[in-house]
Structure 1
Amino acid sequence: MDPDIALFVDVVREGSLAAAARVWRLSPAMVSKRIARLESRFGVRLLHRTTRRLALTQSGAAFHAEVAPLIAGLRAAQDRMAQAASEPAGPLHVTAPTSFGRLWIAPYLPTFLERHPAVRLRIDLTDDFVDVIGGRIDIAFRITATPPSGVAAHGLTVNRRILCASPAYLERAGAPENIEDLAAHRLLAASGQLPWRLAGVTVTGESWIETNSSEVVRELALAGAGIALRSLWDVSDALADGRLVRIIPRHEGAASVALWALHANVGTPAAVPALIAHLTECWRDTAWMT
C-alpha cells in the first residue's frame, strides 16, 4: 500500500489536511508536503487547498474514484490477516514428561480443541531431553531447575516433591523420623533420580528396585515396596485418600525445581500462549499448583 496515496484518500475522507494530520499523527505541514510530493509524482494537481476549504480537482476526483476502493480493500485484507494471525490455528507440536503429560495435559486437550478447532495438535510424551528448536517443538513442558538458554522459558509453578510411603510399608518397617533414618529403609527411584537433593540436605543411596520408569516407582510405593520422593502433582490423589503417607514433612525437594513451558523466542504461533493459558487455568485449583 502506497502511504502517500493512502494519506490522500484519508485527506479527502476527513475533509481537511488538519483532520487527516490528527488521524495520521502528523503535522498539517507534513501532510501538505506529502500531498505535494504525490502531485509531483503524477504531474497533476489533485487538490485545491486554501486556508478555509479543500476541494478535489477534476484529475483528483477521477484519481480518488479509482484508488479509494483499492485502499479500502487493502485495509480490509490487512485487518483480516491480523485477525487470522491472532486466532490459534495450524499445527501445534507439544512435548511433555510421560507421567505429567498423561495426568495433567492429555485430559484437558479436548476442551482446548473444542475452543480452537482450527488447531492441529500433536503431543509427544517422553522423559528424554528434547531440543525445542532442533526438534521443531512449539511447546515443551519440562520439569527442571535449569531451563535451557536460547528459548523463552515461562515458570509455571514450583515442582514440590515430598517423601512418602504406603501405610503398609510404614507399619512393617517403621516410620523414619529424620533424614538419617532413611539409611535403614528401602528407597525407590528411577535411574538417575538418586541422590535426592532436598532443601538443605542430600540423600544418597541406591534404589531397592532398579527401573528406568518414574511411573513404576510410583506404583512400587503404592504397593508398599519402600519410600519414594514424588512430585505433588503425581501423588496428591494418593495422599488425599490415604494410599500414601507423607513422611519427614520438614524436608521437601529443592524449591529450585519448577515446571516450565518452553518455546522459541520468535515466530511463536498464537496457539502457544493459548494452550499455556488454557492449561494453567485448568490447573489453578489443583492441590499441587502453587
Structure 2
Amino acid sequence: MDRFNAMKVYVRVAEEQGFAAAARALNMSPAAVTRTIAQLEDIIGARLLIRTTRTVTMTEAGTRYLADCKRLLADLHEVEAAAGGAYARPSGMLSITAPVQFGQMHVAPIVGRYLDQYPDMRARLMLFDRIVNIVEEGIDLAVRIGHLADSSLSAIRIGQVRQVVCGAPAYFDRVGVPEIPADLAGHRIIATTGSSARLDWQFNTLSGAGRKIQVSPDARWQTNSIEAARKAVIDGWGIMRMLSYQAAPFISDGSLQTVLDDHAPDPVPVHLVHPEGRHAPAKVRSFIDLAVEILRSNPVLNSD
C-alpha cells in the first residue's frame, strides 16, 4: 500500500465526513476508499474512524493522526515543489521594489544582468522611498534598509549601511572639521527632510558601551531631494548626513569626505524580502541567488 496515498484518502474522508463524498472527490470507488482506510487502521493498530449509517467521526487517535497526516503531506508537497522548481526555467514577470537611490545604484544593474541571463523573463522595477506592502501590491521582492519589523515575510540579509556626515574638502579647509558631534552647531547643515521638524541626529560615544549622543543641529536648508542636498554639499555650501551607499561614489572620487567617523551610529541591515518563504517560485529564487552573489561581494555594503 502507498502510505502517502492512504494518508491523502484518510484526510479527505475526515474532511468530507463521509466515505462516499471522499470517493467522489478522489475519483475512487467507495469500496476502494473503505479498503484503504481498513488497511491503514491495520498498519497503525488503532481505530481512526467511527462509521454510522449517517456520519463518520474520528476517534481520539484519528484526530491526532489527521494532524500528523496534514503535516507530512505538506512537507511532501514542499519537497516536490522545491525539486521541481530547482530545474524550472524562470519565466514571466518579476516585480521588484527598492529605495530610489539604492535601486538606481545597485538593483537596476542586477535587473539587467538577470534579464540577459533569463530571456523568458520580464521585470518591473519600482523605486520608492517608502515601505511598500508587497503582499497587498502584488510585488515579488523588495529591498529593505533598516531593522525589520516582525512579519511573515522571508528575509535574506545582503549587507549593511551607516549614516555618515559628509562635506566637501574645500568646505572643511575653509571652516574647519567638526571633532565631536557638538561641533556641528558651528556649521551649515543641509537636511534631507520634507518637514520643518527638528533634526535629531544620534551618535555613539567614544567610550562605546552602548552609550549614545543626540544632537539637534539647526538646518538652515531643508530639502526632500538627496541629489539637491548632495550637490550643494559637493559645491561647498555645508554639511549633510546621508547613508553610506549614497556617499560612497563621491567619497571615492574625492568630492566628499566624512567626519565624526569615530562617533558613527551603529550600522543598519539591508535585506531582500519576499512573501513566499521556501515556496518562492523559480523567478524569485533565481533573482535572489544573483542579487545575493553580487550585493554581498560589494564592499560598499559589506565593509567593516
* TM-score for the superposition, normalised by structure 1: 0.67
* Residue of structure 2 aligned with 1:213, choices 210, 222, 225: 225
* Counterpart residue number, 2:139: 137
Structure 1 residue identity aligned to 2:173: E
Q: Secondary structure at the match of 2:148?
A: coil
Report the alpha carbon displacement of residue 161 of structure 1 after superposing the two structures with TM. 2.4
Report the alpha carbon displacement of residue 84 of structure 1 after superposing the two structures with TM. 7.8
Matched, 1:264 2:269: no
* Counterpart residue number, 2:214: 202
Matched, 1:275 2:275: no
Matched, 1:286 2:298: yes
Structure 2 residue identity aligned to 1:176: P
* Residue of structure 2 aligned with 1:226, choices 235, 238, 243: 238
Alignment check: 8 A CA contact 2:194 2:222 kept: no
Q: 1:284 to 1:151 in 2, by over 3 A?
A: closer
Report the alpha carbon displacement of residue 162 of structure 1 after superposing the two structures with TM. 1.7
Q: 1:180 to 1:84 in 2, by over 3 A?
A: closer
Q: Distance in 1 between matches of 2:297 and 2:156?
A: 19
Structure 1 segments unaligned to the other structure (5+ residues): 7-36, 42-77
Q: 1:272 to 1:201 in 2, by over 3 A?
A: farther
Report the alpha carbon displacement of residue 192 of structure 1 after superposing the two structures with TM. 6.3
Q: 1:90 to 1:217 in 2, by over 3 A?
A: same
Q: Secondary structure at the match of 2:95?
A: strand
- Which structure has the greater CA radius of gyration? 1
Q: 1:208 to 1:145 in 2, by over 3 A?
A: farther
Structure 2 residue identity aligned to 1:154: I
Report the alpha carbon displacement of residue 101 of structure 1 after superposing the two structures with TM. 0.4
Report the alpha carbon displacement of residue 202 of structure 1 after superposing the two structures with TM. 2.1
* Counterpart residue number, 2:257: 245
Q: Deviations over 1:27-70 (max 9, x none)?
A: xxxxxxxxxx9xx99xxxxxxxxxxxxxxxxxxxxxxxxxxxxx
Matches within 5 A, 1:139-158: 139-147=141-149, 149-158=151-160
* Counterpart residue number, 1:122: 124
Q: Deviations over 1:119-148 (max 9, x none)?
A: 221010110221111111111112122345
Alignment check: 8 A CA contact 1:147 1:260 kept: no
Pairs aligned (count): 219
Structure 1 residue identity aligned to 2:120: A
Q: Deviations over 1:82-121 (max 9, x none)?
A: 2587432222110000011011111222211111122221
Q: Secondary structure at the match of 1:259?
A: strand
Q: Distance in 1 between matches of 2:150 and 2:232?
A: 32
Q: Secondary structure at the match of 1:250?
A: helix
Q: Secondary structure at the match of 2:132?
A: coil
Q: 1:156 to 1:167 in 2, by over 3 A?
A: same
Alignment check: 8 A CA contact 1:156 1:259 kept: yes
Report the alpha carbon displacement of residue 286 of structure 1 after superposing the two structures with TM. 3.0
* Counterpart residue number, 2:63: none
Alignment check: 8 A CA contact 1:195 1:205 kept: yes
* Residue of structure 2 aligned with 1:161, choices 160, 163, 181: 163
Q: Distance in 1 between matches of 2:158 and 2:169?
A: 32
Q: Secondary structure at the match of 2:105?
A: helix
